[in-house]
Amino acid sequence: SDKFAGKVILITGAANGIGKGAAMTFAAAGAIVVATDLQADTSEALVNGINQAGGTGHFIAHDVSSEDAWISVIDEIKSRFGRLDIVINNAGIGFTGLVTDMELSVWQKMMAVNVDGVFLGVKHSLPLMRDTGGGSIINVSSVAGIKATANFSGYCATKAAVKSFTKSAALESAAAQDGVRINSIHPGIIDTAIWDTLIGTTEDGSNEVPRAATLGGMTAEGVPFGRPGTIQEIVNGMVWLASDESSYMTGAELVLDGGFTAG
Ligand code: NAD
C-alpha cells in the first residue's frame, strides 16, 4: 500500500511492542519511519528488516525524557528528511506499588518518561510539523488514564496527565490553525512485554509477581471481551488517527479496550 507514501513518521519507543508494530505497519504503507528508542540493537534489527523489505526505516537513539535528545532527534529529521508529518509518542514505562510503599524515585521515573517525554515530544515536533504542512500527533495514554486502579497510582497518574495535556496542546494548535491534530489513544490490556517488567514495586523488577497478575482488576479476565487486545488492534487505530480519515478529530480520546472502561 502507498497510503502514507512521502510521509515522515516519528515513533518513540519503537524497539518493542506497540511501537514496533506501528513502525512495521506504517513502513509497509509507504511511510518513511524514524524509529527511536533507548534500545539500539533491537531497533537496528527493526529498521534493517524494514529496509530489506523495501521500506524506509531510520533509527535514532533517544531517551524521551531528555530535552537535549529531543532537540537532536528533530534536527536530524529536519536535515535528513526535511519534513515531519506524524508523531506517535509511544515510549512508556510502568511500575506497580502501593502509594505507601512507592519510592519517590520510581514515581519520578514514570513521570519523566511518560509525561515529560510526551510534553517534550509535542513541544519539539510541532514547529517542524507546522512548517511542513501540518499533520497528526498521537499520544499513547492508556485505559489507566481513564479508570484508576489500586496498586498502580503512579502509572495511572501519568496516563491521565497525557490525556489532559493532549487536549491543551490540541486547543493551542486549533487556535493557531497550524494544521496539526493532536489526540490520545487509550489501549486496554495489550499482550506485550510491558507486562513482564511493570509487575514490581521497584525499577529493577524485584517483588515480581507472575505476568497478568491482578492490578486492581486490570487483568484479561476483567475485560468484557475476555481477552487481551493485539498489538495490531492498537496500530489500526493509530493508522486511522494518522490519516486524513480522522480529519475532524482533535483533542479527543480513542479508546481501544474491549469494553474495559465501559462499565
Ligand atoms: P514495551 O515495553 O513493549 O515497549 C516500550 C518501549 O519503550 C521499549 O522499547 C522501551 O525500550 C521504550 N522506552 C522505555 N523508556 C524509554 C525512554 N526513556 N526513551 C525512549 N524509549 C523508551 O511496551 P508497550 O506495551 O508496547 O507500550 C507502548 C506504550 O503503550 C506505552 O506508553 C504504554 O504505557 C502504553 N500502553 C500499553 C498497554 C499494554 O497493555 N501493553 C496498555 C495501555 C497503554
Predicted local confidence at residue 211, as pLDDT: 40
Ligand 1 pocket member 228 (CB < 6 A): no
Q: What is the pLDDT of residues 174-185, one digit of tens each?
A: 999 999 999 999
Residues 55-62: what's their mean pLDDT? 98
Q: How many angstroms separate the CA atoms of 141 and 144, rounded?
A: 8
Sheet containing strand 86-89, edge to edge, reads: 56-61, 32-37, 8-12, 86-89, 135-140, 180-187, 253-256
Query: Is the model's pLDDT at 203 over the cut of 50?
Result: no
The answer to whether 64 touches 113, Cβ cutoff 8 Å, is yes
Ligand 1 pocket member 193 (CB < 6 A): yes
CA distances from 29 to 20, 25, 41, 109, 213 (A): 14, 6, 24, 35, 36
Residues 59-84: what's their mean pLDDT? 98
ipTM reported for the complex surpasses 0.90: yes
Predicted local confidence at residue 67, as pLDDT: 98
Q: How many angstroms separate the CA atoms of 207 and 244, rounded?
A: 45
- pTM equals 0.95
Q: Which residue ranges make up each domain of the chain?
A: 8-256
CATH class held by domain 8-256: alpha beta
Q: Report which of residues 196 and 140 the model is more confident about.
A: 140
Of the residues 26, 59, 155, 260, only one is catalytic, namely 155
Average pLDDT, the chain: 92
User: Does 155 qualify as catalytic in the annotation?
Assistant: yes
Query: Is the model's pLDDT at 205 over the cut of 90?
Result: no
Query: Is the model's pLDDT at 218 over the cut of 60?
Result: yes
Residue 148 CA, ligand 1 centroid: distance in Å: 19
Which of 119-123, 159-163, 215-219 has the lowest average pLDDT? 215-219
Residues 113-140: what's their mean pLDDT? 98
Q: What is the pLDDT of residues 2-16, one digit of tens each?
A: 999 999 999 999 999
Predicted local confidence at residue 215, as pLDDT: 58
Residue 6 CA, ligand 1 centroid: distance in Å: 27
